[in-house]
Chains A and B, each alone.
Chain A
Amino acid sequence: MSSTTALPTSEDQRSDEPHLLSYPRFLKRILWLATEGSFGFYAWMTLLTALSLVGLNAWANQVAGGMIGTNMTDHVSWGLYIANFTFCVGLAAGGVMMVIPAYLYDDEDMHKVVIVGETVAIAAIVMCTLSVVVDLGRPDRFWHLIPGIGEFNWPVSMLTWDVIVLNGYLLINLHVVGYLLYMRYLGRKPNPTWYIPFVFLSIFWAISIHTVTAFLYCGLGGRPFWNTALLAPRFLASAFVSGPAFIILVMRVMRVTAGYTAPLGPARTLVQIIRVAMVVNLVMLASEIFTLFYTGGAHVSAANYLFFGAHGHSGLVPWMWSSIVLNLIGTVLFFMPSAMERSTVRIVACLCCIAGIWIEKGMGLIIPGFIPSTLHEIVEYSPSLIEWKVTVGIWAFGLLILTVLMKVVVSVFGGQVTPEQPTVTT
Chain B
Amino acid sequence: MTTTNDSSPKENGQGDRSLPVLQNSSRRTAVKGAFATLGAAAFVAAVSPLRQAAKQTTASEFMQTHYKRLTDEDKRKVIERLEAEVKQEHGVDVDIADDRPIPGTKFVYAINLSVCNGNGKCVEACHKENNHDRATNQSYIRVLEMPKGTMDMEHGNTTYSGVVPKDDKFYLPVQCQQCDEPPCVDVCPVKATWKEEDGIVVVDYNWCIGCRYCEAACPYHARRFNWKQADVPADEINPDQSYLSNRLRPVGVVEKCTYCLHRTRRGKLPACLEACPTGARVFGNILDPDSNIRWILENKRVYILKEDLGTKPAFFYYFD
Which A residues are within 8 Å of any B CB, using their own CB? Answer: 32-33, 35-38, 41, 49, 53-54, 56-57, 60-61, 63-68, 70, 72-75, 77-78, 132, 135-142, 144-145, 150-153, 156-160, 163, 216, 219-223, 258-259, 301, 369-370, 372-377, 411, 416-417, 420-426
**Best-surrounded residue of A65, A153, A259 (most CB of chain B within 10 A):** A153
Q: Which of A35, A60, A138 contacts B32 (CB 8 A)?
A: A35
B4: A residues at CB distance < 8 A: 420-422
Tell me the smallest distance from the CB of A422 to a CB of chain B, in Å: 7
Instruction: Determine the distance from Cα of A78 to Cα of B211 in the docked complex, in whole angstroms.
Output: 9
Q: Which of B57, B189, B311 contacts A160 (CB 8 A)?
A: B189
Question: What are 30 A-B pairs at a CB distance below 8 A?
Answer: A36-B8, A56-B43, A60-B46, A60-B47, A60-B53, A66-B227, A66-B228, A67-B252, A74-B224, A136-B210, A137-B208, A137-B254, A138-B210, A140-B54, A141-B207, A141-B210, A144-B66, A151-B66, A152-B189, A153-B191, A160-B189, A221-B311, A222-B220, A370-B216, A373-B221, A374-B220, A376-B154, A376-B156, A422-B4, A424-B25
| Residue B19 lies at the interface, judged by CB distance under 8 Å to chain A | no
Beta-carbon nearest neighbor of A132 in chain B: B211
B142: A residues at CB distance < 8 A: 375
B220: A residues at CB distance < 8 A: 222, 374-375
Instruction: Determine the distance from Cα of A145 to Cα of B207 in the docked complex, in whole angstroms.
Output: 10
B156: A residues at CB distance < 8 A: 375-376
Instruction: Determine the distance from Cα of A221 to Cα of B250 in the docked complex, in whole angstroms.
Output: 29
B163: A residues at CB distance < 8 A: none
Task: Tell me whether A57 and B7 are in contact (CB under 8 A).
Answer: no
A372: B residues at CB distance < 8 A: 154
Find residues 1-36 in chain B having any chain A CB closer than 8 Å to their own CB.
4-5, 7-9, 11-12, 22, 25-26, 28-29, 32
A138: B residues at CB distance < 8 A: 208-210, 250, 252-253
Task: Tell me whether A375 and B213 are in contact (CB under 8 A).
Answer: no
A151: B residues at CB distance < 8 A: 66, 190-192, 207
Known: A37-B11, A68-B228. A56 touches B158 (CB 8 A): no
Beta-carbon nearest neighbor of A72 in chain B: B227
Known: A159-B211, A374-B220, A375-B221. A145 touches B154 (CB 8 A): no
Task: Tell me whether B212 and A137 are in contact (CB under 8 A).
Answer: yes
| Residue B226 lies at the interface, judged by CB distance under 8 Å to chain A | yes
Instruction: Determine the distance from Cα of A264 to Cα of B195 in the docked complex, in whole angstroms.
Output: 59
Tell me the smallest distance from the CB of B71 to a CB of chain A, in Å: 17
A216: B residues at CB distance < 8 A: 213
